[in-house]
Chain A
Amino acid sequence: MSENVSPPSAPSSSAAVNRRIAERAAAHAPLRRSVTTEAPWVKAVTLTLALLFLALFLVLPLVTVFLEALKRGFGVYLNAFAEPDAQHAILLTLTVAAIAVPLNLVFGVAASWAVAKFRFPGKSFLITLIDLPFSVSPVVSGLVFVLLFGAQGYFGPFLKAHNIGIIFALPGIVIATVFVTFPFVARELIPLMQEQGNTDEEAALSLGASGLTAFLTVTLPNIRWGLLYGVLLCNARAFGEFGAVAVVSGHIRGVTNTMPLHIEILYNEYNISAAFAVASLLALLALVTLAAKSVLEWRFAHALAGGRGH
């Protein structure tokens, strides 16, 4: 670009060229705005549209959840959590997430490692397969596990003979949650690890590190923010998953009801304030997740940029 500005014969230092460009820009600045700046009315319309949309579809429902939950006073609100069924649902949801998220952390890292670092037949098929839970309806995902592990399913007789309960029990809920939330970590890590290649690992090995040490001291730090981000998303979905869990859990109150299922039951029983109270807790968890993500991004913006750059 700068060559166009300097006369072809006179060798001109780039500093001088830059100065001249700056001078010209300064001279024209009051006359011209940047080419990508739109007319004021375009700005106003798009901004209003976006904000209205946000308010209508995001802020309003969220505010409603909290308003509705607190409508009959704080006492009623707290009462909703005092109920044993509600407490059990909260505990169950936390338990399921506590099992499913670490599992998906391991699966996700393993899958991304395999995709990013090795060449093998069927690799693109595997990448597509990882996305499957995103494209399949959660109800179908749940049904698949009922077909596999239910009383009439393929493994049903075997499980019954050994007195192992999967469907309508904690294992079934965990399996369904793992299935639905599988892509989050892997999707976050695959592009990151592909981009990073394996020179850093080679460097670690050439310096005498074992494979495990190289993974722990080089690979993991390189992917930590992507990993954390994936885990947060995975966790948010694990808390909130409804469809697949609804199919496998059997809605047994105080036994297999997770928070989303509990909310639905309360709502169907016209116990509106209790339903919204539990819903508000679920919404709060989601907001905390989002806040944690934003804090991380803000706090480590430099590390993230550095990790993806050069």
Chain B
Amino acid sequence: MPTRSPAGGATRAPGTVGIRVEGIERDFEGFKALGGIDLAIQPGELVALLGPSGSGKTTLLRIIAGLEFATAGSVFFGTEDATHLSVQERRVGFVFQHYALFKHLTVADNIAYGLSVRPRGERPSKAAIKRRVEELIDLVQLNELGGRYPAQLSGGQRQRVALARALAVEPRVLLLDEPFGALDAKVRKDLRRWLRDIHERTGHTTVFVTHDQDEALELADRVAILSKGVLEQVGTPDDIYENPASPFVLSFLGDTVALPVEVRAGRVLLAGDVLDVAPAAGTTDGRHTIYLRPNELALSAPGAGIPGIVVSLRRTVNGRRAEVRVAFSDALIEVEVPTDYPLNVSDRVGLKLQKARLFPA
């Protein structure tokens, strides 16, 4: 029976397990693709592996799946050491970036594949396979398309078939490699909601790889951010956004402007001038970089916050966008301004910060 999951408040698939990787390293002919990854994923949890290309996120996913093997480290499924299990023995559902549907098989036969290749003793009856396929076609909303071939489907439909095919084998965990990478923006958004919905209904422990910050934050219970083969931070979307652990995480999650500043006795100095900004308690003295997020800035009269000068003003769908040059630097930052806010080009303004995001330089 499905049970409530501690992670997402969703149902949990029977037999789904947590995943734990310990000290995973991967060398590609001298190049270290992964340098010691430790990560624990709870049963039923939906986790995003987020990072720029080349960060090792797909390699980590493939190592969890057993499609690639680690140079060092272990993979656990629940309490079972899966490090040396073959991909077949791991019983994972893997959704490939370009779907990898079998072109010569219909949608229904694609979904049935995993069940029909089982050895005779374990193979369900033809009728049982047919029933299961129908269930899944229903789950992924592909009714009426069971007889079509992959070439006759749209990208979004192919993605649904790939997911149904992976779910058919009742996998212990579900792994998706850039699930929406090859789709256009509109379909991406729809499928995002749909995947979240499927996850809530089926409750598999799910790990997906993405380079899209929005996608990771919107979809995942927790996000693991990778850079250059190293885990930078793991946390809930709110947590990593509000409290980024490193300049990399901060600048990877949306646009930022970085300014070199100095902290001296609890005060922040930009080119010698004291800024109207309070550093967090315990910030050490010395050279720092302050990171500004456009959406955490508010325009105010000069004298408050960081001084700047309006360089240009543009109309947008939601209001106006002011391009502000930050004082004592060449940095330009774009701030959204309400239409009724009195502002002209060349006006001096103050950029008030909700939070001073300081990292030692």
Contact = CB atoms under 8 A, between A and B. Distances in A.
Contact of B117 (A200, A217, A224, A310): A217
B58 to A, nearest CB: 12
A221 B106 CA distance: 13
B67 A202 contact: yes
B94 A206 contact: yes
B102 A213 contact: no
A205 B88 contact: yes
Contacts of A310: 151
A202 B117 CA distance: 14
A203 interface: yes
B96 A207 contact: no
Contacts of B117: 204, 207-210, 213, 217
User: Which among B66, B67, B98 has the greatest number of chain A C-beta atoms within 10 A?
Assistant: B67
Given A199-B96, A202-B96, A207 B113 contact: yes
B258 interface: no
Contact of A200 (B66, B100, B151, B168): B100
Contacts of A307: 103
A67 interface: no
A306 B87 CA distance: 28
B136 to A, nearest CB: 13
A199 B162 CA distance: 13
Nearest to A196: B103
Interface in A254-290: none
A22 interface: no
Nearest to B117: A209
Interface in B86-127: 87-88, 91-94, 96, 98, 100-104, 113-114, 117-118
Nearest to A200: B100
Given A221-B104, A306-B103, A203 B151 contact: no
B169 interface: yes
Contacts of B113: 204, 207, 209, 217
A217 B93 CA distance: 19
Given A199-B98, A213-B117, A310-B151, A206 B103 contact: no
A205 B85 CA distance: 13
Nearest to A199: B100
Interface string A179-197: 0000000000000000000
Nearest to B177: A199
Nearest to A207: B114
Contacts, number: 69
Interface string A286-310: 0000000000000000110011011
A222 B114 contact: no
A228 interface: no
Interface extent on A, as a size class? 20 to 34
B332 to A, nearest CB: 23
A206 B104 contact: no
A268 B179 CA distance: 70
A213 B116 CA distance: 11
Contacts of A209: 88, 113-114, 117
A221 B104 CA distance: 7
B87 A205 contact: yes
A94 interface: no
A8 to B, nearest CB: 15
Contacts of B101: 203
Nearest to B97: A199
Nearest to B94: A206
Contact of B94 (A203, A213, A221, A302): A203
B118 A208 contact: yes
A304 to B, nearest CB: 11
Contacts of B94: 202-203, 206
Contacts of A127: none
Contacts of A200: 100, 102
A221 B67 contact: no
B104 A208 contact: no
Contacts of A206: 65-67, 87-88, 92-94, 166
Contacts of B118: 208
Contacts of B166: 206-207
A207 B113 CA distance: 7
A184 B166 CA distance: 37
B359 interface: no
A218 interface: yes
Given A208-B114, A209-B88, A203 B103 contact: no
Contacts of A210: 88, 117
B204 to A, nearest CB: 14
A216 to B, nearest CB: 10
Contacts of A222: 103-104
A257 B28 CA distance: 56
14 contacts: A199-B98, A199-B100, A202-B94, A203-B100, A203-B102, A205-B87, A207-B113, A207-B117, A207-B166, A208-B118, A208-B169, A209-B117, A217-B117, A222-B103
Given A207-B166, A208-B88, 18 more contacts: A199-B96, A200-B102, A202-B67, A203-B101, A204-B113, A204-B117, A205-B87, A206-B66, A206-B67, A206-B87, A207-B117, A208-B118, A210-B117, A213-B117, A217-B117, A221-B103, A306-B103, A307-B103
Interface of B: 65-67, 87-88, 91-94, 96, 98, 100-104, 113-114, 117-118, 149, 151, 165-166, 168-169
What 4 A-B pairs are tightest by C-beta distance, nearest first? A207-B114, A203-B100, A221-B104, A206-B94
